[in-house]
Amino acid sequence: MILSLVGCTHYYYAPNSENIPLFKEKHTFKGKAGIGGGDGYTGGDIQLAYSATPKIAIMLNSFFAGKSELVPDNYSSNTSHEESGHGSYFELGAGYYKAFGINKIWVFETYAGAGTGSENHIYNYNQTAKLGIIKYFIQPSFGYSSKKQTFEIAVGSRFCSLNLKMNQNNVSIQENGENRKVLDTIGIHPSSILWEPSIMIAAGWHSFKFFAERTTSKNLSNRYLPQENENFIIGLKFALDRETKSNNKVNGDSFYPRTD
């Protein structure tokens, strides 16, 4: 979730990808890192999770996104100026997981948490706006993880309460009229309820996999918020658990997970 910029239109929210670790047992550490974005921004996620007990896990997620672009001054001029939007976001969560079925190949998880972040916009004439982000979320998910955890597929359904806070706004109505109107509207309507479904596919080895994930965002309550509606990323997943540690011990490696 963050801001981005497309042409001369600024967007003030985009969804981060969902962290769906698909835990099967306690004392497992998982993480993933990916790059991607949406129609008008590029970004990246770094996500970590740990199963502290046989049923409870915690997570820490981060998201960075933005874009800079040359925008024509007007339709009859060959001159242009640079506008940009960039931001960062961090969240903590905790929740419940349960693996079931033969060889525990099916996993249900649900997490709840909160996040905070900031975004910085630069408009024409170097006028700027800075916004703060506060988000609360609940995220149930359901997935398949093969017996040896070499293939995974999962779907998530995140519900969010989003609030944007205007920390700085020196945008002039004379020079950036449309952008100022949007910022004033955000000040009047700062809150949104979001539904964000996601699908993730990963394949590789037990402790090291390639993954792709697509997350979309539907604003259920605030039609005034200009936002990006998609985040598609690709990247790497890793896991360190009992099987990994056992394999490393047999092979004389005390820390690094095997990838073969």
As a whole number of angstroms, the distance between CA 92 and CA 101 comes to 29
- The answer to whether 163 touches 128, Cβ cutoff 8 Å, is no
Sign of CA dihedral 63, 68, 73, 78: negative
As a whole number of angstroms, the distance between CA 86 and CA 118 comes to 9
- By C-alpha distance, which of 202, 206, 204 is closest to 245? 206
- By C-alpha distance, which of 31, 21, 17 is closest to 63? 17
Question: With 0-12 CB in 10 A as exposed, 13-18 as middle and 19+ as buried, what is 70?
Answer: exposed
Kindly indicate whether the domain formed by 4-250 is annotated with CATH number 2.40.128.
yes
DSSP 52-77: -SSSEEEEEEEEEEEEEEEEES-TT-
The 10 Å Cβ neighbour count of residue 7 is 11
Amino acid 6: pLDDT: 39
As a whole number of angstroms, the distance between CA 199 and CA 188 comes to 34
Amino acid 71: pLDDT: 81
Provide the residue type at 45 as one letter.
D
Per-residue pLDDT of the chain (260 residues; tens, 9 = 90+): 444 433 457 999 999 999 999 999 999 999 999 999 998 899 999 999 999 999 999 999 999 999 988 888 765 567 888 899 999 999 999 999 999 999 999 999 999 999 999 999 999 989 999 999 999 999 999 999 999 999 999 999 999 999 999 999 999 999 899 999 999 999 999 999 999 999 999 999 999 999 999 999 999 999 999 999 999 999 999 999 876 555 555 444 444 444 43
- The answer to whether 19 touches 47, Cβ cutoff 8 Å, is yes
As a whole number of angstroms, the distance between CA 158 and CA 183 comes to 26
Amino acid 248: pLDDT: 52
As a whole number of angstroms, the distance between CA 64 and CA 3 comes to 9
